[in-house]
Amino acid sequence: MSAKQWIAGINAVAAAVEHDADNVREVLIEAGAKNPRLVEIETAARRKDIDVRRVATQALEGVVGNLRHQGVVARYAAAKTFSEHDLEGLIEAAQGKALVLVLDGVQDPHNLGACLRSAAAAGATAVIFPKDKAVQINATVRKTSAGAADSIPVIPATNLSRTLRDLQQMGVWIYGLAGEAQASFYSVDLRGNVALVLGGEGDGLRRLTRENCDQLVTIPMPGGEAGAGVESLNVSVAAGVTLFEAVRQRVAS
């Protein structure tokens, strides 16, 4: 069984047991481990009728390879899945306060996991990324996201440009982050239905993605010309900065 069918680590497994127990087939815990968090996971899993086994450390390493398992892994059937068809309902449910994170071609699973974690913490409505030429949800993403990959709507888009146009039709204003943009990100109103679009590592936003944004903005960086563009920030850092500026504006309003 491939590592993609397993999730590893205390936070990831605890979140899966709490939020998506129907898809957790079994939990394996390191025999003799004393961490009280592992006891909590075992108790929660048994309460939800999930099979729990105590196994040797080698058994855990055998199913997740090089992933750091922290003494616990879970066999996972499938995450709750969302598609573009769910977007309209998600936007409507947000009642004029939708906050969508769009990632245009992130390649590093650690970056995607960190973005999902920030999005969940910010109460984002959904995270959208392309089905092709971008990292998808896998075991590394689940672990890095600390469970966020299974607690927030994640939508792989067949055609990202079309999905952006659909969002516009739903009343969502789309801001693309681009280093050469003239407008400061901090000058825009983020209190209504908004989507924040960030490019992948290195290349930033693709041309068609840019063309389907309502406005391009930049994160001001006082560190000088070397820090003038959003591309100089790690994408997961940029996601945190932008998402929580939206949170700040909404809390202050």
Which residues have CB under 8 Å from 149's CB, separation 6+? Answer: 12, 79, 113, 116, 137, 141, 142
Q: What percent of the chain has pLDDT over 70?
A: 93
128 is in an annotated binding site: no
| Superfamily of 3-76 according to CATH | Ribosomal protein L30/S12 (3.30.1330.30)
Is residue 240 within a helix (H) or strand (E), and if so which, with residue range? helix 235-252
Architecture (CATH level 2) of domain 84-252? 3-Layer(aba) Sandwich (3.40)
User: What pLDDT does residue 224 have?
Assistant: 53
199 is in an annotated binding site: yes
pTM of the predicted model over 0.85 = no
> Is the pLDDT at 2 greater than 80, yes or no?
no
CATH 3.30.1330.30-classified regions of the chain:
3-76
The secondary structure of the chain in percent helix, strand, coil, rounded to multiples of 5, reads: 45, 20, 35
- pLDDT of 182-238, one tens digit each? 999 999 999 999 999 999 887 789 999 999 999 999 998 876 554 444 446 789 999
- pLDDT of 14-39, one tens digit each? 988 988 787 888 999 999 888 999 99
Q: What average pLDDT is seen over the chain? A: 88
CATH 3.40.1280.10-classified regions of the chain:
84-252
Give bridge partners of residue 27 from the DSSP assignment.
52, 74
Q: What percent of the chain has pLDDT over 90?
A: 64
Q: CB–CB of 111/101 below 8 Å?
A: no
Residue 238: how many other CB atoms lie within 10 Å: 21
219 is in an annotated binding site: yes
User: What pLDDT does residue 121 have?
Assistant: 94
- pLDDT of 108-136, one tens digit each? 999 999 999 999 999 999 999 999 888 88
User: What pLDDT does residue 169 have?
Assistant: 97
- pLDDT of 48-86, one tens digit each? 999 999 999 899 988 887 778 999 999 877 656 789 999
User: What pLDDT does residue 145 have?
Assistant: 83
